[in-house]
Amino acid sequence: MIPRSTISRSCGALNAECFYIGALGSRKTHAKRLERMRAQGFGEAQLARIHAPIGLDIGAVSPAEIAVSIIGEIIGALRKKPLRAEGIAA
């Protein structure tokens, strides 16, 4: 079950047009979150702005590594630089 407060905060961030919105949880949890937000009237373009599961996929295990993966993703969103894995070389 996804707490209503999580959905409420996500909706608030989308409405505020934050440059980065990240959400913790599994892909399954995120799919449920998206369904509830669609039911509240959010469109696919808005929902695509939510980064979930949060962080770059670097195989992070420890809390420090997870923090680095999250900060890396936030910096990438801030600088709007595509990932190399998306087909563009740095």
pLDDT recorded at residue 15: 81
Confidence grade of residue 11 (pLDDT, cut at 50, 70, 90): confident
- For 10-69, the DSSP string reads HHHHHHTT-S-EE--S-HHHHHHHHHHHHHTT--HHHHTTEESS-S--S---SHHHHHHH
Sequence-distant (6+) residues with CB within 8 A of 40 are 7, 11
pLDDT tens digits, one per residue of 66-80? 999 999 999 999 998
pTM value is 0.72
Residue 42's CB is within 10 A of a number of other CB atoms, namely 18
* CB-CB contact of 54 with 60 (8 Å): no
Residue 90: pLDDT over 50 = no
